[in-house]
Structure 1
Amino acid sequence: MRKNALIIDEIKGIISNAQINAIRAVDHQRVIMYWNIGKRIFEEEQHGRERAVYGERLIGFLAEQLKPQFGEGFAIRNLNRIRQFYRKFPIVSTAWTQLSWSHFRFLLTIPNDEKIDFYLQESVKNNWTARQLDRQIGSQLYERLLLSTNKESVLSVARNEKQPTEAKDIIKDPMILEFLGLKPEAAYYEKDLENALITHLQEFMLELGNGFSFVARQKRIHLDGDDFFIDLVFYNRLLQCFVIVELKTHKITHQDIGQLQMYVNYYDRIERIKHETPTIGILLCLEKNDTVVKFTLPENSNIIASKYQLYLPTAQQLSQEIQNEVQKQKEMRKE
């Protein structure tokens, strides 16, 4: 009976993998088909004397002819999207052909070509699903990374033209944790936040950024008769260092920063081996005080305070948050 159960599980796995591969193959062909249709529409438009008007007439005519036989994929709205697809991606690339049509539908909502390139490269590099891509666009990942480093660096890392060398290259502020399901107005403890992060570890690591792997939870360290417990420990293979995350559900204090600095020092002196880079500490807090951070830590410290939000804000709300953060940073540089 046990052998029979084993062979059934193996065959089910083979069938499941074949079905997944078949779906991917079909979707790949759909992407190629839409690109070729977009190319043909674009070429035909170039022959029209009044291109804009001719283009709209052509799209309407094609929808009339194709939709009854081939369905909603050839309605006016999608044909316009197909034409835009070719115009945004006029050169066939082995990178973008790995993505599904759903990926491109989300990419085509982005007005900025540099942002499209960033999300395209990140999708391919990290094997994002279309849903994950949509979430990253909605949380304005690109803009949040620009708060800590410059545009050229963000794009270079995305294209694999350079590897990140500092924490600021990958750590985001704010971090958006809407997937935890915790209500902003509800009372909860740090243990509740930690439990929710562990339950949604895959989503949290996606939010943390590239190259993270989970190491430990409530890591116990023993110092001369006293026990301390580090909330979360990760390792980043790109930076080749440990990353310690301490959770605070209040506005941070200098004591919180000092505690995290002790943990970072411990990992640097006890756990880190010769080829690894210095440990990074992330103080993930509900509210931060940048001035307290600035005067508590030495310059070029490897500790970063990052504010978290328990909801996915609108583009307008997050843009305002980013503008406020930029203004804060400018004021701090003047001090």
Structure 2
Amino acid sequence: MPAVRTLVDLLRGAIIGVVEVIPGVSGGTVALLIGVYERLLTSASALVRGVVRAVVDPLRGRGLAGARTHLAQVEWRLVLPIGIGMVLALVTAARVVEPLLDEHPVTSRALFAGLIVASLVVPARMLGARWRVRDVALAVAAAAAGFLLTGLPSATVEDPSPLAILGSAALAVCALVLPGVSGSFVLVTTGMYQPALAALNGGDVPTIALFMAGGVLGLAVFVHVLRWLLASHRRVTLAIMTGLMAGSLRALWPWQSDDRDLLAPSGDVGIVALWFVAGVVLVGAVLAVELAVVRRRARTASSADDAARRD
């Protein structure tokens, strides 16, 4: 069974990697959907702390004990296969997914919109059955912010500076960690999307290294902030996440111009609607399976507790 679990985690990472190539679709949203978001966030926090301690502590004469403690808290059996799957999928998707999106933009956006609409259930369910007035107000405000953000015109940068690459990559990784905000969309907005794809497809190692360094920088700063927010202000954070996911649907309206102006439905609307429904059904099926597994585990645990009491 460990081999099956590793294969599943590789697939999970691949899914996250693929959607990160698609502007408007958040890898953090997918991580929430497939049930690994908080575990990955906790492991990422421990990993960053461990690396920082490994660099700083020896300079202070404290050795590596602190670094080992943090690194031991990382779920390596989860993080490694998901990380490998993400990297492989990113490289592959840069060559395969992008041409498909260019050739079929309307139906692709409809499918992705259906996926996101159905996945709104995930953070909403994490928040709880009863939404308070404040939760709704925060979600609406976040949705409005997400709607405005995804409507910004894309920038174009022909020859980006190293500092611009570092900064945009740091922002993109922050978006990757935050459900509802697409990392690739941040790159589009800052004009770094095409340079990033060109670097991946062309094997431009120096540029890829700069993007990776910026990503590590962003992860080191933001992951701790988000983990603290989930621990200390869980309801507020989850309400805002839900709103951001809802607002980001603007980027996935099937009919829009190159400048992201929303257009009225046209062409074969029925086919587009079917692709949207297919996205909803796909996520709904995954959620139904997840719910069945959770209930089965709960029944098994309850039966085990009853047996233990009888013994």
Q: If the TM-score is normalised by the length of the shorter chain, which range does it land in?
A: under 0.3
Q: What TM-score do you get using the length of structure 1 for normalisation?
A: 0.25
More helix by share: 2
Higher relative contact order (CA 8 A, sep 6+): 2
Q: What TM-score do you get using the length of structure 2 for normalisation?
A: 0.26
More strand by share: 1
